[in-house]
Structure formats: C-alpha cells, structure tokens
Amino acid sequence: FIDGTYNLLSYSIEIITSLGVVMALSPLLIPLMIFSTLPQFVSNVVFGKRKWGIWDVQGNTRRDYTWSRSYLSSYISLQELRIFNLRKFLIERIYKLYTDFQSAQRKIENKRIKVSAILDILRVLGITLAFLFLVRYVLVGAITVGSFSFYI
C-alpha cells in the first residue's frame, strides 16, 4: 500500500513538474500534449473496466472454475476422483468454463487493440509535432541544444 501510494505521489509530482517546465517554454505545447495523450488514457480506463467487469458478471462461472480446478488438483480428493471416475468429466468442465470465459475477454481485448492502434497513431502524431516544435525552437535559436535535450 505504501509503495503504491509513493509511486502515485512521485508520478503526480513528475507530471506537475514536467507541465511547469513545458509551460515555461511554450504554453501551446500543453494542449497539444493533452489532446494527443488523453484519448489513449480514456480508452485504457474504459476497456479496463469492461475487461475486469467480466469477472463480476461471470462471478459464478469463475467460482465454478476455481472449485472444479481445486477439486481436480487436491490430493485429498484423489480417492473420490478415482472411485467415481471424475477426472475426465472435471477436465472437460474446466476446459469449457475456461474457454467460455476467455472468449468473452478475447472479444474485448481485440476491440481494445484496434481502438488503441488508432489512438496510438494520434498520440505519436502529437509527440512528433511537439518534437518538431522544439526542433524549430533550436533552429531559430530560441533555445540551445542543451535545453533541447532537457525538454526531450
């Protein structure tokens, strides 16, 4: 918990500091960077909720899968498995539950990949424009090469 909180705090401070440095150079770069990265962030949040929402919607399936798997792998239940010949039944049951669960996740993940590919192109274009903006500042002498490497 403390490590996660520390990371969150350090990332927040890093973002605020970076915004201050970029604002000192050119306030026009901030909207460009925000508009190029915000759609990807929103996409990750939306698809993350959808993907993890499957665990809530299919909670009974997940519990059934876990119970069947643990019953199959427990040494305590080995005698029952052998006496009642349940091994094949449980393996088929686990396989079916797993493939059903994974097919729902696969659909969401494939859609996320397609949307992310388009949004990544937008993000790369925004970063390229910011980079070209900085290169132009170096060429006209507004900033030095050392400052350019600092901003990158």
Q: Please name the residue that has the structure tokens 């980079």.
A: 131
pLDDT at position 130 over 90: no
pLDDT of residue 92: 93
Q: Calculate mean pLDDT across residues 137-145.
A: 86
Q: How confident is the model at residue 11 (pLDDT cuts 50, 70, 90)?
A: confident
For residue range 69-108, list pLDDT tens digits in order: 888 888 888 888 888 888 899 999 999 988 988 888 888 8
Quote the pTM value. Answer: 0.62
Q: Calculate mean pLDDT across residues 32-49.
A: 83
Q: Please provide the DSSP assignment of the chain as one string.
A: -HHHHHHHHHHHHHHHHHHHHHHHH-TTHHHHHHHHHHHHHHHHHHHHHHHHHHHHHTHHHHHHHHHHHHHHH-STTHHHHHHHT-HHHHHHHHHHHHHHHHHHHHHHHHHHHHHHHHHHHHHHHHHHHHHHHHHHHHHTTSS-HHHHHHH-
